[in-house]
Amino acid sequence: MKVTRAEEIMKSPDIIGVKYRNNYVWIEDVDKEHNTAHVTYLEKRNTLHVDVDQLEETGSVIRQP
Q: Give the domains, in start order, of the chain with CATH numbers.
A: 3-62 (2.30.30.150)
| Neighbouring C-alpha atoms within 13 Å toward the C-beta of 17 | 8
Distance between terminal CA atoms of the chain? 27
Q: What is the pLDDT of residues 11-46, one digit of tens each?
A: 998 889 999 999 999 999 999 999 999 999 988 889
Residue 42: helix, strand or coil by DSSP?
coil
- pLDDT confidence of residue 62: 60
pLDDT at 63 over 90: no
Torsion of CA 55, 31, 27, 22, to 10 degrees: 20
CB 34: neighbour CB atoms within 10 A? 11
Determine the length of the chain.
65
What pLDDT score was predicted for residue 23? 92
pTM of the predicted structure, to 2 decimals: 0.85
63 vs 44, residue with greater confidence? 44
